[in-house]
Amino acid sequence: MIGAIELSAEPAARRPFDPSLSVGAYLVARAQAHGVILRAMAGDVIAFSPPLIISTTQIDQLMSVVRRALDETLDWVGAVA
């Protein structure tokens, strides 16, 4: 199983973030600080690969941490951009 999220400064216009910000790497670091391992890919795409035996409860926990990391990243981008 693989999941991915593409981060964008303006999703409707598909405008990416300035590469110098390394928004994807920041999100990965925030998720790791909360116990979830994600992988930053080119173009601020974030991938995660949970085990196939993951339970519904564990998926909910995973998504909760990813949401928290996304919120923290949004706050950070607002402060630096």
Full residue range of the structural domain in which residue 62 is found = 3-80
What DSSP string describes 27-71?
Answer: HHHHHHHTT---EEETTTEEEE---TT--HHHHHHHHHHHHHHHH
Q: What's the pTM?
A: 0.90
- Collect all residues with Cβ–Cβ distance below 8 Å to 48 and sequence separation of at least 6: 2, 3, 4, 36, 37, 38, 39, 62, 66
Domain count, the chain: 1
Q: What is the pLDDT of residue 1?
A: 84
The CATH number linked to 48 is 3.90.1150.10
Using CA atoms, how far apart are residues 47 and 52, in angstroms rounded to an integer?
15
Is the pLDDT higher at 81 or at 17? 17
CA gap 78, 75 in Å, rounded: 5
